[in-house]
Structure 1
């Protein structure tokens, strides 16, 4: 295997979700300076789901007009769009327009839609493109996809996003007796560099992804890593010229086997295919939307350090799980189910603590924060490994299976968003904890 090809696969996968992940981690610096305030996350959730029109179009084209869609042209277009949109955000994210008598961040919301369209469409284009390379490079691609969440988080940490200092604040309790009380008040420190610089960094990362994609298509070292079967626009090209000896060997070793279903190679029954896709949708709903939407509620009651440590370690766990899968690939459906149950069980604990916020279990002890950090690491580690397992299985089933893989990923995220948006933003079932003051019995 080529180390260069592995590196290019990582850089290519990094561009899949780096823009939207970067936007989320920058929210603490965005919301104080725009009219939407903390309603912005709710708007972003809706905009990202609206952007699923991109993967829907690609999936329908593959379904009803296979081979007609120029997959490489689509990838070039969306990466270029993501690069330009991130660059424009650096210049116009604070600009507002008056809409219905109120100031709105129109430029920010519109450019976010384009970024979301890029990232959502990458799920149904980047993965199928990896069919052109050997199976080992698909796992490396998943490492890059994990880095797309880790790298913006690390840069945001260097920037100082969300770093809180607790200071004494004197409050007058009784004006007549002139009595006062003291409590700690959270103050966010200024960032080490501007929001504009962060968006320029995101644009540079998309540009790196574009260069990596160009090299994956044209570098001679990558060409030597291509398997015998070539894919063009999602349709496998056939080698028309074979020597008689080759034909005899193919007939000997490729005897037709009984197909268990019409999906892919027919290696899995209809029930097993449904089982794989249900797990894929469930895992992505939990890890992409449901649990991230309550991360602050589950962690902040244990302190700001527990919150930042859990977010950082969870971001590290994603590429770590993909790295483990590179050396320990497992295709067992039983193991997949067991890991899904384990990760979901840990997710239930995290959700339970979020519901109990601002007074979850062990809130006054050091072990509460430690358990929460470990829970987030275990949750992301197990479910990220399941994602890679599904990707490896579907990669063996062919190009169209990976297209459906990307579509189901987006479907799971959509269902998660539809479920959590009203619970968090409409019914307000969760209460945020104060990182400096814990008022629990």
Structure 2
């Protein structure tokens, strides 16, 4: 039955961000059929930040009326909304309306906002709900959350989204028009042509709707299946996290772990095992001092800003100069690295703040290299060389791997501290992502500081 609970926790985690991640990977296919064209990513960035009204409401409720808000009705509501919105998106994403001075994809934008509310609110509801289960299932949930990016990316690869073939511009014009036009270059310059998809965007959005139904089914079983209910009751009997759910801060002070191990103690402390641990702060169970709590939340905001907003916004600039294959390989393997990091954390859950700081600095270093290559686009270091291509792909993998591990470890640490700590964990995740997006939006979309590489033509000096 423990295996069943692990599977359900993983499927539940997949539903956390699968809808918005699916929207991002489907962009190359849908932008050619909507009036916003490639301005849609900029619109999506703003829409996702507006959707933070959901987690803001939940966080304020927990702050000013602790125990008044039960996560389960909220989760049923937002997952049900996600099922409906993805289903409608499959049939309405092409629909246009005249607004102001032109046509706009009103249905697509409104449904994208609703899906953003669903996914953003999951950060402050799904995690606290996992407090009802024993601690080992939290890492499985994080694995599912990582798969929420990998699964739609793999489906998009099967669909053939963004696959480019390079054709001579003159030949393409002759084939299309039967004669050479004045706009056709005879210099032999290559032009990128996107291959038609193996199945439609409608089918892809219906797949996302099915994934949300699976998430809803997993959540139902996590609440109603007798084996899972027994584990929840065992957690309450042992004075575990579920005992404090709905009880506010008093409930958090009673939170405990089954079979606590020495590594669940603060790694920076110098207390003997048999010595009674005095609370070091009023946060959670008092395991960490106020300074250490501030450090943990600053790291959490920083790594989520980098992984959820800053670096994804310039991924194409950092990879496309090395070729379309490098771009797709980096995107796919980086998506694989996320659940791999969660899998590693399942067996090596090191809670050392020193290690956390070291991994954060290391991951930030990888991110700095990626940012530098994006700034140098379309002529980054080692362009047109196999070593340059391999280096940018490996850097993306290591960047996601190290910082994803940090995020999971922080989640484990805050899970040990209680229900409200996980609520604040979700809120800080959204805050960091929002600050990262707000920082990068003007640089990328307003001031145009980055120049995209051409997957078919290299114009860099040898």
TM-score range, shorter chain: over 0.9
Query: Cα distance 1:75–1:180, how it changes in 2: closer, same or farther (>3 A)?
Result: closer
Of the candidates 302, 307, 315, which is equivalent to residue 282 of structure 1? Answer: 302
> Structure 1, residues 44-85: CA drift from partner, whole Å, max 9, x if none?
000000000000000000011011112100000000000000
> Structure 1, residues 124-156: CA drift from partner, whole Å, max 9, x if none?
000000001111100000000000000000000
Distance 2:73 2:276 in 1: 35
* 2:46 maps to 1:46: yes
User: What is the correspondence of 1:180-329 to structure 2 with a 5 Å cutoff?
Assistant: 180-226=186-232, 227=235, 228=238, 229=240, 230-231=242-243, 233-235=245-247, 257-329=277-349
| 1:72–1:233 CA contact under 8 A, matched in 2 | no
DSSP-derived class of the 2:279 partner: coil
Distance 1:300 1:255 in 2: 57
2:360 maps to: 340
Distance 1:255 1:219 in 2: 40
User: What is the correspondence of 1:97-108 to structure 2 with a 5 Å cutoff?
Assistant: 97-108=97-108
2:268 maps to: none
C-alpha displacement at 1:30, in angstroms?
A: 1.1
CA RMSD for the aligned pairs? 2.0
Distance 1:120 1:193 in 2: 29
Q: Structure 2: any 5+ residue segments left out of the alignment?
A: 174-179, 252-272
What TM-score results when the alignment is normalised by the length of structure 2? 0.89
User: What is the correspondence of 1:38-77 to structure 2 with a 5 Å cutoff?
Assistant: 38-77=38-77
Distance 2:247 2:141 in 1: 21
DSSP-derived class of the 1:187 partner: strand
| 2:349–2:409 CA contact under 8 A, matched in 1 | yes
Distance 2:211 2:282 in 1: 40
| 1:142–1:388 CA contact under 8 A, matched in 2 | yes
| 2:169–2:185 CA contact under 8 A, matched in 1 | no
Task: Identify, as 1 or 2, the structure richer in strand.
Answer: 1
C-alpha displacement at 1:180, in angstroms?
A: 3.2
How many equivalent pairs are there?
Answer: 425
Query: Cα distance 1:231–1:83, how it changes in 2: closer, same or farther (>3 A)?
Result: farther
DSSP-derived class of the 1:98 partner: strand
Query: Cα distance 1:255–1:214, how it changes in 2: closer, same or farther (>3 A)?
Result: farther
Q: Structure 1: any 5+ residue segments left out of the alignment?
A: 239-252
Distance 2:202 2:294 in 1: 45
